[in-house]
């Protein structure tokens, strides 16, 4: 009987396309908006992937990677002295202004690395030599910076070009690839001492201490020990990412805005699918009554309706997710808008579609269980 | 749960004794049937006739087991329907009763062979076998070459032939027909009645046909005439032909 149910469903082309289209639209809206939202969230934690370290030690009141408070220089040695810390290095991290040949000022994310270890180095070097970062005035810029700072040149900035950071000359010795940051500022890497020289002088200049646990120690254990013994806040990389995204959830309207769109997608999906399925059901009620008169049990009819609803759901979900994937493939090279489609989005959308189908099927099942087969004898 | 089997040896195909049925709230009830006695035998084409609202369709629904009576006993193919649970009734109906409806009730999105195979599929017969048997029966009603067409491509008479094939495909002992000719022209109606009468007599089946179409009266072996929820008279033999010849 199941092939009969599927044929009954698919033969009514208009309704079938409307049903599948409703679910596909809902799936597309939910996954696409979720993907853009997650992409945006991932941008807020790009420091953790562009400057890689297992443990990030910050001032005790810091709750997000995008808003640090300076530490005392002595804090570095305090962290180094905590048992279980293999090594700890300073990191300068601040938004500052760079001026290219065009004269226009561009904000950049300045990252100062320990000169001896270059710990926190750029993840992917595209051009140049990382070791040359130790040369005077040397900086490594990311691909976004080559475009932004090269506007006045009429071409992307290259290795050997110069620009100014707070009136001090910076010479490009390398070009790297980074993940884009939420604020949209390009990354400029240099050594810690040069970063301090590039920036306006303040009493405390140390932004973050990066640390690695000794062999046999987990980052979680060592971070907790650093926190206990220094009074500073030591996050694992994952913990700092989580704290940063939690901050976005708690302090910005971005999640609410995206959740509204995702919820609307879900509601529209339910309304279109459930309503269309129910109207299809009402059009076929005499046939279902005839099947019941001919010996189809309520259980069998319920299974047929569930099969129909979940078939529509599966096809609609596949189409919606497929369209989202195509959207992702188109926008990812440009990173506009940000996009990150992970398994959680797919599972959540799948569960939402499951719910949509269940609601649609239950409306029909409720009706069919009360359907009097004698309806077929009533002209 | 096993499907209750018919007990064909136990007397008439259908035996209804003192059946009553009313509809509506207690303070404003409509009495559809009052103490109805009715019987139909194997190999018989039995017409139930009467004006609209006389209780014909209610009686047919009760015999089909799609409607429970308020009182009385209904024995169908030797089994007492009142002893069955709803689920047993559904299974019994599916296995042993064929239906022909006034509006045909063919599913327009399915082919003829798929429509006819439904009763077999409901019995758990495999798809290929069900469609083979359905195709053979469609050939018997003259539609073998159109087995893959949709019902809406056929005339009313052809659709009713398909409905007859669907009612016969699982070889039920009882066929219940609700106004099967009222939507058909005179010639087509005559053909359909020929088919039904032939099916009843050749297969030893009992065919009960509710109608108010006088053109069908002459085909009956017996006619039960109803009025106001009661059986007025039961005609058989020459009385049937006399009744059929009267102007209605």
State pLDDT tens for residues B127-155. Answer: 999 999 888 888 887 787 888 888 888 88
Residue B185 has pLDDT above 50, yes or no: yes
Within this chain, do residues A354 and A302 fall inside the same structural domain, yes or no? Answer: yes
Name which residue leads in pLDDT, B204 or A377: B204
Chain A residues whose C-beta sits inside 8 Å of any chain B C-beta:
1, 3-4, 7-8, 11-12, 284, 286-287, 289-297, 300, 372-374, 376-379
Contacts of A8 in chain B (CB under 8 A): 107, 109-110
A60 domain residue, yes or no: no
Q: What is the pLDDT of residues A177-212, one digit of tens each?
A: 998 888 889 999 999 999 998 888 888 889 999 999
What is the predicted pLDDT for the residue at A155?
Answer: 86
Pick from A161-170, A242-251, A257-266: least confident: A257-266
Name the nearest CA neighbour of A122 among A84, A166, A174, A73.
A174
Contact, B233 vs B225, CB < 8 A? yes
- pLDDT class for B3, splitting at 50, 70, 90? low
Burial of A330 (0-12, 13-18, 19+ CB in 10 A): exposed
Q: What per-residue confidence (pLDDT) applies to A240?
A: 93
Instruction: Please report the pLDDT score of residue A377 as a whole number.
Output: 65
Q: For residue A98, what are the contacts with CB-CB under 8 A and spacing of at least 6?
A: A105, A106, A107, A108, A145, A149, A163, A164, A165, A170, A188
How far apart, in whole angstroms, are the C-alpha atoms of residue B68 and residue A71? 85
* Predicted confidence (pLDDT) at residue B8 exceeds the cutoff of 60: no
Looking at every residue in chain A, the average pLDDT score rounds to 88
Question: Which tokens in the block code for residue B95?
Answer: 């296995």
A191 and A328 together in one domain: no
Min Cα distance B120 → chain A (Å) is 10
Contact: A296, B91; criterion CB under 8 Å: no
Low-confidence winner among A195-204, B186-195, B230-239 (lowest mean pLDDT): B186-195
Q: Can you give the pLDDT at residue A55?
A: 95
Spell out which residues of chain A touch residue B127, defining contact as CB-CB under 8 Å. 3
Domain ranges of chain B: 14-24+32-245
Question: Three-state DSSP class for A40?
Answer: helix
Among A11, A294, A374, the residue with its CB nearest the CB of B119 is: A294
| pLDDT greater than 60 at residue B1 | no
Tokens representing A268? 């529209």
Whether residues A133 and A24 share a domain: the answer is no
pLDDT digits (tens, 9 = 90+) for A317-353: 999 999 999 998 888 887 778 888 888 888 988 898 8
Q: What is the pLDDT of residues A133-165, one digit of tens each?
A: 999 999 999 999 998 888 877 888 999 999 999
Q: Are residues A95 and A6 in the same domain?
A: no
Identify whether A51 is part of a domain: no
Looking at the structure, do residues A227 and A101 belong to the same domain, yes or no?
Answer: yes
Say yes or no: A215 and A84 in one domain: yes
State yes or no: pLDDT of A303 exceeds 60. yes
Residue of B64, B91, B102 lying closest to A293 (CB–CB)? B64
Structural domain of residue A368, as residue ranges? 2-43+253-377
Give the range with max mean pLDDT: A119-123, B89-93, B156-160, B240-244: A119-123
Mean pLDDT for the stretch of residues A82-98: 93
Same domain? A159 vs A295: no
Q: What mean pLDDT do residues A23-45 have?
A: 87
Q: Reduce the secondary structure of A315-353 to three states and give it as a string.
A: HHHHHHHHHHHHHHHHHCCCCCCCCCCCHHHHHHHHHHH
Number of domains in chain A: 2
From A11, A295, A379, residue closest to B94, measured CB to CB? A295
A126 with A34, same domain: the answer is: no
- Classify residue A58: in a domain, yes or no: no
Least confident of A80-94, A266-280, A324-338: A266-280
CA distance A129 to A159: 10
Enter the tokens of residue B233. 């008279």
A88 band by pLDDT with thresholds 50, 70 and 90 = very high
Structure confidence at residue B5 as a pLDDT band (50, 70, 90): low
A87 and A207 inside one domain:
yes
CB contact under 8 A, A378 and B105: no
User: Could you tell me if A111 and A212 lie in one domain?
Assistant: yes
Q: In terms of domains, do A267 and A306 share one?
A: yes
Q: Quote the DSSP letter at residue B24.
A: S
Residues A86 and A212 in one domain: yes
Let me know if domain B14-24+32-245 sits in CATH 3.50.50.60: no
| pTM of the model as a whole | 0.73
For the sheet containing B30-40, what is the strand order? B30-40, B14-23, B71-76, B79-80
């Amino acid at each position: 009987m199941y092939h009969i149910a599927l044929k009954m469903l698919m033969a009514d082309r208009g309704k079938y396309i409307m049903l599948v289209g409703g679910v596909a639209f809902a799936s597309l809206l939910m996954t696409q908006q979720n993907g853009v939202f997650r992409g945006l969230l991932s941008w807020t934690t790009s420091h953790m992937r562009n400057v890689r370290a297992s443990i990030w030690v910050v001032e005790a009141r810091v709750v997000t990677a995008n808003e640090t408070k300076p530490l005392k220089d002595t804090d570095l040695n305090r962290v180094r002295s905590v048992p279980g810390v293999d090594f700890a290095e300073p990191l300068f991290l601040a938004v500052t202004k760079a001026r290219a040949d065009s004269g226009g000022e561009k904000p950049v994310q300045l990252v100062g690395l320990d000169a001896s270890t270059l710990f926190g180095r750029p993840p992917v070097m595209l051009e140049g030599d990382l070791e040359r970062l130790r040369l005077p005035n040397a900086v490594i810029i990311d691909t976004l910076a080559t475009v932004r700072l090269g506007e006045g040149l009429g071409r992307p900035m290259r290795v050997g070009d110069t620009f100014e950071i707070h009136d001090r000359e910076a010479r490009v010795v390398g070009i790297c690839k980074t993940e884009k940051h939420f604020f949209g500022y390009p990354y400029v890497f240099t050594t810690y001492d040069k970063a301090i020289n590039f920036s306006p002088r303040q009493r405390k200049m140390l932004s973050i201490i990066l640390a690695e646990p000794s062999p046999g120690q987990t980052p979680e254990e060592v971070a907790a020990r650093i926190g206990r013994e220094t009074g500073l806040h030591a996050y694992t990389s994952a913990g700092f990412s989580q704290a940063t995204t939690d901050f976005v959830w708690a302090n910005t309207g971005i999640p609410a805005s995206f959740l509204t769109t995702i919820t609307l997608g879900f509601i529209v999906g339910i309304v279109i699918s459930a309503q269309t399925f129910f109207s299809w059901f009402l059009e076929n009620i005499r046939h279902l009554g005839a099947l019941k008169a001919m010996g189809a049990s309520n259980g069998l009819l319920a299974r047929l309706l569930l099969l129909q609803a979940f078939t529509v759901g599966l096809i609609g979900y596949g189409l919606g997710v497929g369209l989202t994937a195509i959207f992702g493939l188109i926008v990812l090279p440009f990173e506009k808008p940000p996009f990150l489609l992970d398994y959680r989005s797919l599972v959540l959308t799948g569960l939402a579609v499951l719910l949509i189908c269940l609601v649609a099927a239950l409306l029909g099942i409720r009706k069919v269980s009360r359907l009097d087969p004698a309806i077929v004898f009533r002209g | 749960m096993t499907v209750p089997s018919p007990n064909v040896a136990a007397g008439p195909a259908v035996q209804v004794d003192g059946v009553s049925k009313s509809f509506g709230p207690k303070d404003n009830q409509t009495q559809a049937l009052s103490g109805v006695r009715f019987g139909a035998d194997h190999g018989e084409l039995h017409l139930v006739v009467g004006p609209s609202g006389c209780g014909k369709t209610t009686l047919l629904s009760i015999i089909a087991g799609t409607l429970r009576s308020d009182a009385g006993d209904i024995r169908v193919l030797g089994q007492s329907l009142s002893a069955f649970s709803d689920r047993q009734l559904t299974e019994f109906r599916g296995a042993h009763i064929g239906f022909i409806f006034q509006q045909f009730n063919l599913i327009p999105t399915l082919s003829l062979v798929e429509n006819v195979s439904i009763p077999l599929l409901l019995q758990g017969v495999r798809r290929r076998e069900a469609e083979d048997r359905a195709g053979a029966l469609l050939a018997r009603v003259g539609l073998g070459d159109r087995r893959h067409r949709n019902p809406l491509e056929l005339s009313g008479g052809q659709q009713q032939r398909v409905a007859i094939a669907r009612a016969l495909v699982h070889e039920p002992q009882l066929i219940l027909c609700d106004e099967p000719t009222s939507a058909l022209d005179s010639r087509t109606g005559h053909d359909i009645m020929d088919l039904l009468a032939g099916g009843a007599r050749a297969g030893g089946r009992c065919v009960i046909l509710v109608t108010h179409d006088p053109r069908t009266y002459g085909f009956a072996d017996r006619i039960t005439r109803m009025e106001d929820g009661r059986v007025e008279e039961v005609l058989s033999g020459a009385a049937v032909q006399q009744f059929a010849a009267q102007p209605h």
